[in-house]
Structure 1
Amino acid sequence: MDESARSKFLSMVKAHQDRDDPSGWCDQVYQDADGDVSAVFWADLVPNPYLITWLEAHPNTSPQRTAITVGCGVGDDAEALSAHGYQVTAFDISPTAIALCRKRYPDSRVNYVVADLFDHPRDWANGFDLVFECNTIQVLPGEYRLRALNAIAAMVAPGGHALISCRSRNTGEKEDAFPLPLDRPEIDGFIRAGLCEQAFVIYDDDQAPPVQHFFACYNRPTK
C-alpha cells in the first residue's frame, strides 16, 4: 500500500472510530478487492506459521473437537484448522470477506458465518476446544480492545486452548499507531479473564523492517 492509499485508509478508519463504529470500515476493504483475495492488503494467503507449528506439535486425536477462527479474513487459518481434523467455525464481521471465503473454498468443511464479536451467538460461550485469534484486537480502539479480549477468552471451553497472534510493542511505545500493537500487560488480560498461560513467544516477522509479534497459548482449566 502506497502512502496515498494508506492515508485514505486511515482516514476511513478514523471516521468510523469517531462515530463509535470500531469495525464498520472492514467490509469496504474486502469490497475494494473486487473478488481478488490477493488485493486484500493484509492477507498473507498462507496459514499463520506459528499456528501450524502448534497444530503439528499438538495433533488433534478426536474428530469431535471444535475450533473457531476470530475475524477469519480470507480463510487460510480456518482451512488449516480443518485440515488438522477440527470441526471449524470461522466468522468475520464483513459479509464480503465471508463471501470470498466461500468462493475461494467451495468444497470446504468450514462453517463460514457473518458474525460480530460483540454480539455473537450465545452458544459460542465456552463452546470451542480451540480458539484462534490473529490481529483482531490490535485494530480496535479504546475500550473495545478489552471487550474483544474478554469475548475471545469466553469462547474457550473447559480444557480448551486459545492461540493468540498479534503485533507487539513495549509499554508506552507507539501509542498513536494503527494498528496499535498489544503490550505485555494488555495481552496478559487473557490471564485475568480466567485462562492460564502455557506458552509465550516474542518474535520478529520477515517484513523489512521486521515487526515484533507475540504468539501465546492459553488454556482454560477444567476446574
Structure 2
Amino acid sequence: MGNPKSATQRLAREYADQGDPNGWFEEFYARAGGDIGKVYWADLKPNPWLLDWLKERGASDRMRAITIGCGLGDDAEALSRYGYRVTAFDISPSAIAMCRQRYPASTVDYRVADLFNPPSAWLRGFDLVYECNTIQILAGLSRVQALAAISDLAAPGGEIVVSCRSRNAGEQLDSFPLALDRDEIDGFLRAGLTEIRFVAYDDDQEPPVPHFFAVYRRHA
C-alpha cells in the first residue's frame, strides 16, 4: 500500500495542473467511500486547544458559530455541545455525507458550500468563526483570499478562532500542506481584526509539530 499523504499530494497536483486546485477534495472523500478510517488526517476527536478555549469561555447562549471546511465534524459537534447554533460546511459533498452519517441526530446544520462563494446571509453573520487547517491546504493567491473570506464571516463583535500548523518564514516552501508563517496569519490583523490571543506551541507528536492558536475579534 502506498503512502496516503504522498498519494494525496499527487492528487492535489493533478487537479492544480488542470486549473482546478480545489477539486481534489471531493475526489479524496469520495474515494473513502464513507470509511472514516481512510481520512488519514482526521483525529476523530475535537481539537484540544478548541476544547480548552470553550471550557474557559463556558456555555454559549445560543450564539451563531460556523466551522470552516468541517471535514468529519468533530469540532462542529464540540461547539454544538457548548450551546452554539452551529453551521458547518465543506466543499466536498462526500465529506458532508460522512458527517451526517457519523452524527445522525446532530443539531449542527451541515452544508455543502464554497468558502469563496458563500451564501450572502453568512457575510458578517456569525458570533464565532472557527478555522482549523483549511488555509494550509491551499496554494498561492487562494491562501490570501481564503483568509479574507473567513474574516468576512465574523459579525460585528464576533470572534475568529484559528488553529493551524506553523512554520518560520521562508521555510518548507515545497511542503504540502504548507503551514502558515507569522506574516500570513497576521493577515487577520490586516483584515481589520484585533488579536485577542496568540499562542505558538509544539504539539505532542514525535517529532513535535509547531502550531499557532489565535483568537481575533471584529470591532462591534
| TM-score, scaled relative to structure 2 | 0.97
Identity fraction in percent: 57
Q: Note closer, same or farther for the CA distance 1:88–1:14 as it changes in structure 2 (3 Å cut).
A: same
- Where does structure 1 differ by over 6 angstroms across 4 or more consecutive aligned residues? none
1:55 maps to what in 2? 54
Deviations 1:69-90 (A, max 9, x none): 0000000000000000000000
What is the CA distance between 1:146 and its match in structure 2? 0.3
Q: Which amino acid aligns with 1:78?
A: A
SS in 2 for 1:164: strand
Q: Please point out which of 183, 188, 191 is paired with 1:190.
A: 188
What is the CA distance between 1:3 and its match in structure 2? 5.6
1:29 maps to what in 2? 28
1:18 maps to what in 2? 17
1:17–1:141 contact (8 Å) kept in structure 2 = no
Q: Which amino acid aligns with 2:118?
A: H
1:133 maps to what in 2? 131
2:147 maps to what in 1? 149
SS in 1 for 2:184: helix
2:192–2:218 contact (8 Å) kept in structure 1 = yes
1:86 maps to what in 2? 84
1:204 and 2:202 correspond:
yes
What is the CA distance between 1:198 and its match in structure 2? 0.4
1:201–1:214 contact (8 Å) kept in structure 2 = yes
- Unaligned 5+ segments in structure 2 are none
SS in 2 for 1:42: coil
**Inter-partner Cα distance in structure 2 for 1:74 and 1:53:** 20
**Inter-partner Cα distance in structure 2 for 1:132 and 1:9:** 24
Q: Which amino acid aligns with 1:56?
A: K
CA RMSD, Structure 1 to Structure 2 (Å): 1.2
Q: Which amino acid aligns with 1:156?
A: A
1:172 maps to what in 2? 170
**Inter-partner Cα distance in structure 2 for 1:9 and 1:160:** 35
| TM-score, scaled relative to structure 1 | 0.95
Deviations 1:16-66 (A, max 9, x none): 112332211111221222212122011000000111111111123412x10
1:191–1:197 contact (8 Å) kept in structure 2 = yes
- Unaligned 5+ segments in structure 1 are none
Q: Which amino acid aligns with 2:195?
A: E
205-214 or 188-197, larger mean C-alpha shift: 205-214
2:72 maps to what in 1? 74
